[in-house]
């Protein structure tokens, strides 16, 4: 309970009172979502699929910092949750029929108050995730991590791309999978230490802004995100139910590799 109160207090301090905003109170601070159309600080300007996503297997799209459904869900180990705390966002992606992907890097976009994170972070890919169940682990590991600002922001936080390089390329056959890249803030290299806030960015449009492949709605699953965190007492809950109607429909993430 003390950790939850601390997290809510930290967010309240970080977001200026002059900025219209809402931290959903009944969720104890692990969902951050907009309150009014004036909340975001940078207009949404499509700029193309991120340059680092090359060769790009998929990208769900940009966080729209002027969109009516802008939001994020806490996804990290350490930081404001303490050294033993963690919270996981998993979202679904599809390897198309007839394809085999060789994944070399994975990434998510995250709203944060921290200018640096740990030099390595965990990643995990699962199958069969459903409400109340984490399904089956397909592959998991750690890798070298980079943390770079996207140029977007929201809720008084800066958005960063958290990109992890797998130690060994992963082959995935056609099917539906769930991905987590877990931002890590456990060591002194994380610039905010015990006050670190890390909300995985959501994107709320079909097609997503600057998504890859471009131009098609439903390229990747919608409303199939899940949140799992013993720190917050939540067990594999669908994020659309967690956040409410119109929120947390698809998280901003992608994969780099060959097909």
Domain boundaries, the chain: 2-258
Q: What percent of the chain has pLDDT over 70?
A: 84
Taking alpha carbons only, the member of 126, 122, 129 closest to residue 78 is: 122
Sign of CA dihedral 133, 246, 217, 171: negative
Residue 103 has pLDDT above 80, yes or no: yes
HSE, CB side, 13 Å, CA atoms: give it for residue 120. 6
Task: pLDDT band for 253, please (50, 70, 90 cuts).
Answer: very high
Residue 244 has pLDDT above 60, yes or no: yes
Each residue's pLDDT tens digit, 172-194 = 999 999 999 999 999 999 999 99
Model confidence at 79, in pLDDT bands (50, 70, 90)? Answer: very high
| Per-residue confidence (pLDDT) for residue 65, from 0 to 100 | 78
CB atoms within 10 A of CB 243: 25
Please say whether the beta carbons of 97 and 151 come within 8 A.
Answer: no
Q: Pick the range with the lowest mean pLDDT from 21-35, 147-161, 197-211, 235-249.
A: 21-35
* Cα radius of gyration (the chain): 17
List Cα–Cα distances, 237 to 169, 209, 227, 240, in angstroms.
30, 26, 5, 9
The tens digit of pLDDT for each residue in 149-180 reads 999 998 889 999 999 999 999 999 999 999 99
Q: How far apart are the first and last CA of the chain?
A: 46
This prediction has a pTM of 0.86
């Amino acid at each position: 309970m003390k950790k939850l109160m601390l997290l809510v207090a930290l967010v309240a301090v970080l977001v200026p009172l002059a900025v219209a905003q809402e931290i959903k109170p009944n969720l104890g601070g692990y969902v951050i979502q907009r309150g009014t159309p004036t909340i975001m600080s940078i207009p949404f300007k499509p700029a193309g699929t991120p340059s680092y996503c090359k060769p790009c297997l998929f990208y769900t799209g940009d966080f729209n910092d002027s969109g009516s459904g802008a939001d994020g869900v806490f996804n990290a180990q350490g930081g404001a949750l303490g050294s033993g705390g963690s919270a996981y966002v998993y979202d679904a992606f599809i390897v198309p029929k007839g394809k085999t992907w060789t994944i070399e890097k994975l990434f998510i976009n995250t709203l944060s108050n921290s200018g640096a994170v740990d030099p390595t972070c965990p990643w995990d890919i699962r199958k069969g995730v459903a409400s109340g169940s984490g399904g089956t682990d397909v592959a998991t590991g750690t890798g070298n991590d980079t943390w770079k600002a996207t140029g977007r922001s929201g809720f008084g936080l800066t958005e960063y791309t958290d990109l992890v390089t797998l130690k060994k390329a992963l082959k995935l056959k056609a099917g539906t999978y769930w991905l987590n890249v877990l931002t890590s803030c456990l060591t002194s290299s994380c610039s905010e230490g015990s006050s670190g806030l890390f909300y995985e960015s959501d994107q709320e449009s079909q097609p997503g802004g600057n998504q890859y492949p471009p131009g098609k709605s439903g390229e990747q699953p919608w409303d199939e995100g899940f949140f799992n965190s013993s720190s917050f007492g939540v067990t594999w809950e669908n994020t659309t139910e967690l956040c409410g109607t119109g929120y947390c429909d698809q998280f901003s993430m992608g994969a780099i590799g060959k097909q």
